[in-house]
Amino acid sequence: MWYFAKHPSGKEEMISKNYAKERGSHYESDADGLCTRLVKPVPKRGNYDYSVDKQAFIDLGWRIKEKDIKLGELIGKGEFGDVYRGKYREQKVAVKVLKDSSKAATQQFLTEASVMSALRHDNLVQLLGVVLGDNIQIVTEFMGKGSLIDYLRSRGRSVITRKDQINFASDTCNGMAYLEKEKFVHRDLAARNVLINDDCTAKVSDFGLARPVDSNQQGGKFPIKWTAPEALKDSLFTSKSDMWSFGILLWEIYSFGRVPYPRIPLANVVTHVSEGYRMESPDGCPQEIYDIMTETWNINAGQRPSFTETAVKLSAIRANTS
Ligand code: ADP
Ligand code: MG
């Protein structure tokens, strides 16, 4: 059964709900073996327990007192809360305030914070702490230039250089290589979920859907144009499905923020892709970058490159780009 709905964190991308089918355990012995190293079979609904409790944040020292945060202007709207500019101990921060205080929403929100608290890398948006007041707030480093998608669209071809593009691609890939090494799967990698700071460093954000590899919680909502075929079809989310999304993100960077699969109606994208259709190289995109895109869109997840390998390639291209 297919359902289409607006993705809350973006305008044009549509999502399918309950698209992923539940899987049995048989694919553990699948021939290609490569993705089975990273995933366990999806448990039946309700079989997982990834509960995070407020006390855990306090014990781990992640609690920030409400009075230590000064809220500023609204800078963005997310699925679970509004994002404000803020100040925490003289540091510029971003504060996501949970709007829905139901138990399920609180749980999801704290899950996002707990994922972020386990991860630390220069190319991941850093968690600073959590305010456990009437409204739960997630405090992160402030990314002054906003999301990569807005950055690409607002500046465009006339302002953004080859060097900027390779920097964004390489930064994002470095952050993802770290996630891959830590065995975290992002599941929603896209230019809208990469943020740019005042120094123009790109960092991966929006860990709302990221889960430890073996937790396999089903979110049920996927941005179709960014999600790998096996993830849409069989809920097989791995670093290799993140790699497919990274290829789409590269295409977004080199097309200056166009919506992927232009001119193909969303409802036809999955069929086209399953029949072997792939996007063309964006105008002016270097061949070596398009070669990477093509590799990431291998239908066989096991044959896609790793983020670690790709990060090495992108670093070399970065060093050769002036
Ligand atoms: P959701 O994942 O629920 O959609 P996001 O975390 O993507 O919400 O945040 C929504 C928007 O808020 C982003 O697109 C961005 O414009 C802004 N935003 C989020 N986090 C930050 C941050 N750390 N610094 C600056 N702006 C941010
Ligand atoms: Mg988002």
Q: Ligand 1: list residues with CB < 6 Å.
A: 9, 75-80, 83, 94, 125, 140, 142-143, 146-147, 193, 195, 205-206, 208
Nearest CA to ligand 1 atom 12: 76
What are the structural domains of the chain? 46-141 (3.30.200.20), 148-319 (1.10.510.10)
Query: Which of 207, 288, 305, 269 is CA-nearest to residue 19?
Result: 269
Nearest CA to ligand 1 atom 25: 143
Q: Please give the number of the atom of ligand 1 that sits closest to the Cα of 8.
A: 4
Provide the residue-wise pLDDT of the chain in tens; the chain has 322 residues: 222 222 333 332 333 222 232 222 323 333 222 222 233 333 333 333 335 567 777 778 889 999 999 999 999 998 778 999 999 999 999 999 988 777 777 777 777 778 778 899 999 999 999 898 888 888 999 999 999 999 999 999 999 999 999 999 999 999 999 999 999 999 999 999 999 999 999 999 987 655 545 444 444 467 999 999 999 999 999 999 999 999 999 999 999 999 999 999 999 999 999 999 999 999 999 999 999 999 999 999 999 999 999 999 999 999 999 9
Look at the block and give the residue holding tokens 């049995």.
24
DSSP 147: B
**What percent of the chain is helix, strand and coil (3-state, nearest 5)?**
40, 20, 40
pTM of the model: 0.82
